[in-house]
Structure 1
C-alpha cells in the first residue's frame, strides 16, 4: 500500500495511449484542443510506415546491454556480414504478467520485469521525443498516459506495469496520477462509439467487442447507456488464436518442405533469418489474402535468398527435393487457406460462445491487428450477418485500441461500470455469538470475520462505500485490511482462497465533545487500480491510498 500523489486533471493537455501487446506494440497521441485528431505513431526504427512494432528485445550475452528492440531485434535480411549470426531476441515476455500456463520460457538470467522495463524505456524515449517535437510542455505535468492491458491482468500485474513504467522513466513518481489503465476491449469500444452512431443504436443495445491481436483474441460484451456511456455485462473470454498462429501454420508448411528438424535448428541457431522469411510471408501473402480464389495469385518464395542457412541443415529426401526445385516453394490458394482456417474457426467458436452468454448482441465490433485480415472479416460477416444486426469494422482496426485509449485519457468518465474478476472484502470485528468457532473467540467476546464489499462477477458502478465505527470512543487508530478471493464469499480472512490486498491505517483524532467519530471508507475500481479513500467525521480529514500486491 502506498500513498497516491495528487494530480490535477485540468493540467493535462496531451493524452498518449500505449499498447504493449504480446507480439506487437504501438502508441498514439492527441491534444485536448483537437481531441478528434488522434495520431498513431508510424516512424518506427528501420520500419517506417507501420502502426506497430514487434514486442521484441535483443540483448548481448549476460543481458547487461540492449542491442536492439522492435523490428531490428526480430528480423534481418541475410547478408555476408550476418549470415552466421546466432543471436536470438526475447519475445512474449509480457505473458509472464498473466496467469496462463506454459508461458514461453525466458533465457536464464533474464527477469521478465527487466524485459518489460527495458522495452518501456525504449518506447518512452520515442514518446517523449515525439511530444517534444510538436508541443512545448512539461511531460510529467501536462501529459496523461493511458496504458492498455489485457483483460486477465489482476491487481498484481497492474502494479508491476506501473513499477516498470516508473523505472523506464515514463513517470516522475511511482504513484503519479498521470498514468491510468484501461482494458484493451474497453478502449476499442470507446473508439468505435463514433462509427456506431450512424447505425442509430438504442440505449440498452448489447455491443460485442472482438479484439483480434497477434497472440490472443479477446471478447467482451457491453451495453449502451445514456450519453454514449458503456456498461460491461459479461465476463471476458479469450483464446490464443491471434494472427501469429497463422504464422505458425506457415512454419508447419515449411516443415513439410524442408523437414521439422531443419526448421527447429534454424529457429534455434539462426532465428533472425527465419523471422525474415516470416516477414516476407506476411508482406506478400498473409496481409493480402482475402479468401477469394478468383483474385489470388500464387506466390513463389526463394528460400535460398530469404534464408540461405536452410541449405546447411536440410538433409536427405528434403534436400534432394529442394535442390530439384531450385529452393523455390510455391504457395497456392489451398495452401494459404489451410493456414488461416484452423485459427479462424477458433475465433468463430469464441464469438458464438460470447453471443450465448450475453443473450445475443445487436452489434459486433471487430478490432485489433489481425482484424485487418480481409479473410477474417469476410468469414465473420458470412457467419454472423444473420445473427447480429450491425457488424462494424472501423478504418484501420489495428489502431482502434490506442485511439480509444487516447479518447479515454481525454474524458475518463466514458465507462460507468465493470464486471469484477475478484470478490473484495475486509476484516470486520463483531461480537462472538453462539455457533461461532470457539477457537476464534477473542478477548472481550469478539470475533474477526470476512465482510464482503463487492462480489466477483457483478457490476460495480466504480466505487463501493462503507462506514466503520471505532469499538469505543477512546480508540485512537482504525486498521482496514482489504482482501480478495476467487470465491463469491468467504467466512474468514485466513481461509485458503483469501489473499491480502493491502492495509490502510488511520489515526483517529481526539473525539470532539466525547462524540465517537466514524470513518467513511470508499473503494474505487476506476482506472483499473484499486484505490481507497477514507474521510474521518467531525474534522472531515481525507486520506487517499492505493493497494498493490507484492511486485
Structure 2
C-alpha cells in the first residue's frame, strides 16, 4: 500500500479550558496559521473546551455555543448539561472536577476531538483540497493518558488507524520552547545560553529549561515539571468565595441541578474581575455582582442566615481588591514555587524566562513573577499571542523534528527479568532457582539523545523455554527492585517466540531506542537473526 503524500502539518492544542489548532504547508513552513474561525467566537485563537448534551446524552453543541446563554428571570431554565474541565481526568490530580452522572471522561474527550477534527478538516479542505495532513497533539501526561488520547483521537476520526505514525505527540513545554526559539536573538541569546519556558494554561502549568545548541537545536538541561495550578483554579477560588456568602450547599445544588447558570456566573466573573485584575490597588474598582441577574436560580437554594444577609444586600455581592487577591494568590504562589524548583535544579544561569499560555496574559501573574525573579533572571518577556505558543510550536516541531537534540527522562524505565536467586534475596520471592526482578533500562533525570539506544543481552532461564517476555515498566522512582512494587506500572507487554535449539544459552539482544516521542524496542535472536519489534507510546 502506498504511503500518503503528507504535505500539511496540523497541530491540535487540546486545553483544559480552551482549545485550538494551527497548520502549515511544508512548501511554506514559515507561514503557520492559527485558526480564528470558531462558530460564534470568531476572531479568537481558541474556543472553550466545553460540551453541551441533551438529556439523552446526545451532543448538542461544543465550544462557544455550548456556553450557557444569559439566564432568564422568568420561565423554565432547563439544564442542558454543559461540561467542562474533563481533560483534567487524564491526570493524577486529587479531587478531579466532577462530571455529570452518566458521562465518562473518555466519551467527552472523544466527542470534543470529533468536533474539532471536523473543523480542522473543513479548514484544510478549503485551502488545499485533497491534501493529507500529519497531526501533532502536545500533551503533558503520563504514558497511560497519552494512550487514552490516541484511542480517543482514533475514535474521533482524526486518524484512520490508532497506531499510525501520522499522529505524533510532543510535550507542551517542548512545543512552547520551540516556538520561543525565534525570539532568542531579540533577547541576545546565543549558542550555549539557557532559557526557561513557563507555560501557564487553564488547568496545568508546565516548566522546561532548555539550552540553545549549534545548528538551532535544543537540549533539555533539567527534568521538566508541572502541576495543576492554571487559570481555572482562580475560578474555583471565586466559587469558594461565593460559597462563603450564600452557603456552600447552595452552590453545590446549583452545580448539580443548574450547571449552566453556574458556568455563566463564572464567565461573568472572568470578564469583570479576573481578566482586568492587575494587583495594583489604584487600578481596581469594587465590582458588584447582581446574583438575581446572573444566577437567578441561586435564590431558591440559599437558606438560614445566609438568605437573610443576601436579602439585606438585595442579592448583590461586592468584590473588593483583597477578595480578588486572595483568589489569585494560592494559585500564583504555587506557580512561583514551581519556578523556584526549576531554577534550583540547574547549575547554569537562566538568561530568559518566557511566559506563555492563556493564563500568562494575566497582568497580576506577570507582575508577581517579575517581582520575585527579576534579580535572578535578566529578562522575563511574554511573547506576542502567548496563547498560541504551544500549538504553533507543535506545528514547527512537526515540520522539523530534528530541532530536538536530547531530552531528560521524566520516568525510570525497566523490564521484568528472571535471575538466579541468592541467599540475600527474600525467600518468599524464590521461584525454583530464580527470582523475578526489575531491570532498570533508563533512569529518571538522565539526559538521552534522540534515537539513543540502550543495549542488553538476555537469555531464557531454561533450555526448554520457548517464549520470552520483556515487558516495559515505568516508575517515578530512581530505581526499583521488583515490578510489583508501589508506583511501578506496566506500560505494555512484549512477548515473542524463542525457538529451542538445544543450546544451553540462547542470547537475545534487547535494543531500546528512545525515539522522538515513542520507545521502539527490538529483540534479536543472536543465533537465528530473527527480529521482534514493539513500539510503546510514552511520555518521557
User: Partners of 1:17 and 1:295 in 2: how far apart?
Assistant: 38
Match of 1:113 among 97, 102, 106: 106
Partner of 2:46: 52
> Given the superposition, is the C-alpha separation of residues 36 and 285 from structure 1 closer, same or farther in structure 2, using an over 3 Å criterion?
farther
Partner of 2:22: 28
Match of 1:363 among 347, 352, 362: 352
- Structure 2 counterpart SS, 1:145: strand
> 2:9 touches 2:133 (CA, 8 Å); kept in 1?
yes
Matches within 5 A, 1:73-472: 73-79=66-72, 83-138=76-131, 142-150=132-140, 153-255=141-243, 257-314=245-302, 327-359=315-347, 361-428=350-417, 449-462=437-450, 463-468=452-457
> Given the superposition, is the C-alpha separation of residues 369 and 476 from structure 1 closer, same or farther in structure 2, using an over 3 Å criterion?
same
> Given the superposition, is the C-alpha separation of residues 7 and 79 from structure 1 closer, same or farther in structure 2, using an over 3 Å criterion?
farther
> 1:148 touches 1:182 (CA, 8 Å); kept in 2?
yes
User: Partners of 2:510 and 2:2 in 1: how far apart?
Assistant: 18
Which 5+ residue runs of structure 2 have no aligned equivalent? none
User: Partners of 1:409 and 1:456 in 2: how far apart?
Assistant: 26
Superimposed CA distance per residue, residues 134-191 of structure 1 (whole angstroms, 9 cap, x where no aligned partner): 11234xxx311111112xx222211111111111111111101111111111111111
- Structure 2 counterpart SS, 1:198: helix
Larger displacement relative to structure 2 (395-404 or 38-47): 38-47
Superimposed CA distance per residue, residues 481-509 of structure 1 (whole angstroms, 9 cap, x where no aligned partner): 33334433344555566443334445679
TM-score by length of 1: 0.84
> 2:409 touches 2:444 (CA, 8 Å); kept in 1?
yes
Superimposed CA distance per residue, residues 228-271 of structure 1 (whole angstroms, 9 cap, x where no aligned partner): 32222333333332212222333344445545444333333222
- Structure 2 counterpart SS, 1:227: coil
Deviation at 1:362, TM superposition (A): 2.3
User: Partners of 2:344 and 2:468 in 1: how far apart?
Assistant: 46
Match of 1:39 among 33, 36, 40: 33
User: Partners of 2:280 and 2:453 in 1: how far apart?
Assistant: 53
> 1:26 touches 1:51 (CA, 8 Å); kept in 2?
yes
Which 5+ residue runs of structure 1 have no aligned equivalent? none
User: Partners of 2:245 and 2:98 in 1: how far apart?
Assistant: 28
User: Partners of 1:429 and 1:254 in 2: how far apart?
Assistant: 59
TM-score by length of 2: 0.86
Superimposed CA distance per residue, residues 484-537 of structure 1 (whole angstroms, 9 cap, x where no aligned partner): 3443334455556644333444567999xx9x9976543233343332245667
> Given the superposition, is the C-alpha separation of residues 482 and 276 from structure 1 closer, same or farther in structure 2, using an over 3 Å criterion?
closer
- Structure 1 counterpart SS, 2:455: strand
* Higher relative contact order, structure no. (Cα contacts within 8 Å, ≥ 6 residues apart): 1
User: Partners of 1:503 and 1:173 in 2: how far apart?
Assistant: 20
- Aligned length, in residue pairs: 533
> 1:230 touches 1:417 (CA, 8 Å); kept in 2?
yes
Query: Does 2:490 align with 1:500?
Result: yes
Query: Does 2:475 align with 1:482?
Result: no
